[in-house]
Structure formats: C-alpha cells, structure tokens
A and B are shown apart, each in its own frame.
Chain A
Amino acid sequence: MGKLFFYVALALVLVSGLVFAPEHAGLAIHPMDQFTVKPLFGGDHIAWYTPTNVTLWMLFAVVAIIGLLVLGSSNRGIVPSRAQSVAELAYGFIYKMVEDVTGKDAVKFFPYIMTLFMFIVTANFLGLIPMSFTTTSHFAVTAILAMLVFVTVTITGFVLHGAKFLGLFWVSSAPLALRPILAIIELISYFVRPVSHCIRLAGNVMAGHAVLKVFAGFAGALGAGAFLPIFAITAVYALEVLVAFIQAYVFTILTCVYLKDALHPSH
C-alpha cells in the first residue's frame, strides 16, 4: 500500500513537472520574499497600527493556543481527550522545566514562560504551513521577546538581591588577579545574551525557510527532474519541524537558565 502510494506520488510529481513547467525555465529564486510584511487590505504604507500579515498570523497563533489550551481542556475530563492530553503535556513539560532548571520559587514566572513557549512554538509550526508567514523569523519579533526576558531577568535580580546581584559578575571562585578580567567577560556575555537569544531563534527559522525556498526554486527550474529537489524539500521540511520545536524549547530553557541567575545569583 505504502509502496503504491509512493509510486503514485512520484508519477504525480513527474507529470506536474511536465505540465506546470514555467514558461521561462530557469532559476527564479527569491528566498527572502516570503518574509515580506504586507498590509492585509492593500495600500503601501505600513503604520504601527496597520493590520498586516503579521497581525493575521499572530491572530492564528492566538486562535491555535486558545483551541489547544482552552477549548481542549474544556471537558475537564479525569480521563483526558486527545487535545486535553496535549494541553496537559505542554503544561507539565514547561512546569517541570521551570521547576527543574530555575527552582521551586520560580513557579510565579510559570505563566510568563508558558506564554513565551506557546507563542514561539505555535508561530514556528504555523510558519511551516506552505504560503504562510512566519512571525518568529523577524528580528523585530524575536528581539522583543529576548529583550522582555533580559529586562525581566535584570529587574528581578536587582529587586530580589539589590546590589548583591552584581556578584554575578564577580567570580569569587577565581584567583583575585583574574577577577576583573572575568568580570569584564561576564559583563559582555551578559549583554550579548539577548542578542544571541534573539538571533538564534530568528536565524534558525529564517535559514530553514530560505533553504526550503531555494530548493523550491530548483524544482521550478528543473521541470520533469523536479522530483529530486522535492525529495530534498521533504527531508528539509522534516528537519524544520524538528527545529521549530527545538528552537522554542531552547528559547524557553535559556529563559529559565537566565532567570535562575536572577533568582539564585551565587556563582
């Protein structure tokens, strides 16, 4: 059965390659066009309030989160339905992560971290739908997410520990002569954190989508031979599904790690 399906799919790809071959065969790759921000209702000017495709796909993310976490758990079943068990899985996953990585006293940050994780993971997965727009591939979005974490960590650290929070940069276990140098390095790494935090997410998502687009361009240029890049696209797509989850996971766990520094700054 699987084999038959495979051959049918292969034949379909070959035929569509012949039928839908572009008139001007050749490479027409615009890997970055998919990231363009466009107003939804026409017009060229993008003001801060204009509804754009960013708005649309963020709305989809909100709808997906409501569907999963609110509607999915509306039965309140002791024996969970499918959606409810996924919602419980997500809850347990992040709750355990916060508790394990940051500590029991970080549970008050749990809704905040859950918000970050759910937004990033749904935006990443929604971005994998063909022809969609990936909100997390924009530095503007991830930079705000990263800055929110940075500001939260810094403010929490100073509120809870005052000037002692600066001890984070003074490595007391190192030899005295090395400490100023280490302090400078620690300070720089502390301020580089949000940069790498934001570029890691946007860069990963953007790179994967651009690669998909490049292979799609090859498929358009090759005509009947398009099945080769289409296999490649399938493989890269599978990798991107993995990356979409792992990047959300990494973003969240790094948030937990940074928060641990703020809550327990002992070095």
Chain B
Amino acid sequence: MEGDLAYIGAGLAGMGTGIAALGVGNVAANFLAGALRNPSAAASQTATLFIGIAFAEALGIFSFLVALLLMFAV
C-alpha cells in the first residue's frame, strides 16, 4: 500500500517537470521577443539565455529527481 502511494507521489512530482518546461519556454520566448526587437544585442546575450534556461530547467530536474526517488528509493 505504501509503495502504491509512492507511485502516486512520483506521478505528482513528475508534473513538476512539465511546469519547469513552461518556465524554460518562457525564458526562450522572451529572449526571442527581445532578440527580434534588437537583433544586434542578441548575440552577446546567448550566454545569459543559456544560464537562464539552465536555472529554470534545474528546478524541473529536481522534481524529476523526487519522482525517481519515490519510484526507486522509498
């Protein structure tokens, strides 16, 4: 019974990865919008873009990790 609850928890935690995907998309979309307004400044900011994407994605990876822990370690 406890194991089954852990699977439900894993599913709930897995939703977090999808929400993190929203965040990553938000970063990329806003970068693109800004880059189209001022294309000359875009090239110098790709590093910032990747850092932003990495920070947003890390949180999704955390929830993926929680899901894995619930699946396999609890």
In the complex formed, the residue of A with least CB distance to B54 is: A250
Cβ-defined contact, B58 with A100, below 8 A: no
Cβ-defined contact, B62 with A199, below 8 A: yes
Give the chain A neighbours of B58 by CB distance below 8 A: 196, 199-200, 203
Interface assignment of B36: CB less than 8 Å from any CB of chain A: no
Provide 13 A-B residue pairs closer than 8 Å at the C-beta atoms, listed in order of the A residue.
A97-B47, A196-B58, A199-B58, A199-B61, A199-B62, A203-B58, A206-B68, A207-B61, A207-B64, A250-B53, A250-B54, A254-B51, A254-B54
Give the chain B neighbours of A171 by CB distance below 8 A: none
Q: Which residues of chain B from 40 to 55 have a CB within 8 Å of any chain A CB?
A: 47, 50-51, 53-55
Write out, one digit per residue, whether chain A residues 97-137 have a CB within 8 A of any chain B CB (1) or not (0): 10011000000000000000000000000000000000000
Write out, one digit per residue, whether chain B residues 56-74 have a CB within 8 A of any chain A CB (1) or not (0): 0110011011001000100
Interface assignment of A152: CB less than 8 Å from any CB of chain B: no
Cβ-defined contact, B47 with A200, below 8 A: no
Give the chain B neighbours of A97 by CB distance below 8 A: 47
10 tightest A-B CB contacts, nearest first: A203-B61, A250-B54, A200-B58, A196-B58, A207-B64, A203-B65, A250-B50, A253-B47, A200-B61, A203-B64
Cβ-defined contact, A253 with B50, below 8 A: yes
Query: Once the chains are docked, how many angstroms separate the CA of A249 from the CA of B55?
Result: 13
Write out, one digit per residue, whether chain A residues 233-257 have a CB within 8 A of any chain B CB (1) or not (0): 0000000000000100110011001
Cβ-defined contact, A32 with B72, below 8 A: yes
Q: What is A's interface to B at a CB cutoff of 8 Å?
A: 32, 97, 100-101, 196, 199-200, 203-204, 206-207, 246, 249-250, 253-254, 257
Taking chain B's interface residues, is the majority helix, strand, or loop, or is none over half, making it mixed? helix
Our count of residue pairs bridging A and B at CB distance below 8 angstroms stands at: 37
Cβ-defined contact, A253 with B51, below 8 A: yes
Give the chain B neighbours of A257 by CB distance below 8 A: 51
Query: Once the chains are docked, how many angstroms separate the CA of A196 from the CA of B65?
Result: 12
Q: What is B's interface to A at a CB cutoff of 8 Å?
A: 47, 50-51, 53-55, 57-58, 61-62, 64-65, 68, 72
Query: Once the chains are docked, how many angstroms separate the CA of A83 from the CA of B68?
Result: 40
Cβ-defined contact, A204 with B61, below 8 A: yes
Give the chain A neighbours of B62 by CB distance below 8 A: 196, 199, 203
Cβ-defined contact, A200 with B54, below 8 A: yes
In the complex formed, the residue of A with least CB distance to B50 is: A250
Give the chain A neighbours of B61 by CB distance below 8 A: 199-200, 203-204, 207
Query: Once the chains are docked, how many angstroms separate the CA of A31 from the CA of B58?
Result: 21
Q: Separation in Å of the B68 CB from the closest CB of chain A?
A: 8
Q: Separation in Å of the B31 CB from the closest CB of chain A?
A: 14
Q: Separation in Å of the B13 CB from the closest CB of chain A?
A: 13
Q: Separation in Å of the B40 CB from the closest CB of chain A?
A: 17
Q: Separation in Å of the A184 CB from the closest CB of chain B?
A: 20
Give the chain B neighbours of A246 by CB distance below 8 A: 50
Q: Separation in Å of the B3 CB from the closest CB of chain A?
A: 16
In the complex formed, the residue of A with least CB distance to B72 is: A32
Query: Once the chains are docked, how many angstroms separate the CA of A116 from the CA of B54?
Result: 17
Query: Once the chains are docked, how many angstroms separate the CA of A141 from the CA of B72?
Result: 20
